[in-house]
Every structure is written in structure tokens, then in C-alpha cells.
Amino acid sequence: MDPIKLNLLDDQELLQNKGDAVAYLNTEKNLIQLVIICPGCGQESASAGSHSFNKETLSYTPSIVHNPKLGGCGWHGFLTNGWFTEC
């Protein structure tokens, strides 16, 4: 699969295409997390665990897994320098 460019939006209601994302502050964990349109299946997916988005580098750590146990497609990859790439 070719890399998909991050499209950072301001409103979760605007999420439509693979690579679209909205950043929000998780105040409980003091992390910036993402709601994304999965680069694999095109369905909406939200952060879990200790993922953190860096607005300066447009990178998200650790890797992203659209967990099939939670209804996801199993896509596994990275968001680095504004690009989603599959493992």
C-alpha cells in the first residue's frame, strides 16, 4: 500500500477520507491523541492507550493498530512526518 498523507482537520464531523484526522487533548493522560479515518479500511478509529501526537513533526507514537478485536480491519502502521505508512 502506498503512503497516505495526513489531512489534519478541526472538526470530527468533517472526517471522510483515508488519512483524515482530528487531534484532541486527552486531559486524563495529558496527551494529544487522534481520531482518524483508517488508512486501511476507511473507517473511523480513535486512540487508545498511550498514543501521542506531535503537532510539530506530524508524527504519532507508538505505531497504530486498527485492532480487529475491537472491530477494526487489522491495519498496522506508522504516522511519521505527516504520512501514514503500513508495516
Secondary structure E strands in the chain: 4-5, 7-9, 20-26, 31-37, 44-46, 52-54, 59-65, 76-80, 83-86
Give me the tens of pLDDT residue by residue for the chain, a chain 87 residues long.
899 999 999 999 999 999 999 999 999 989 999 999 999 999 999 987 888 999 999 999 999 999 999 899 999 999 999 999 999
Side chain identity, residue 1? M
pLDDT of residue 47: 81
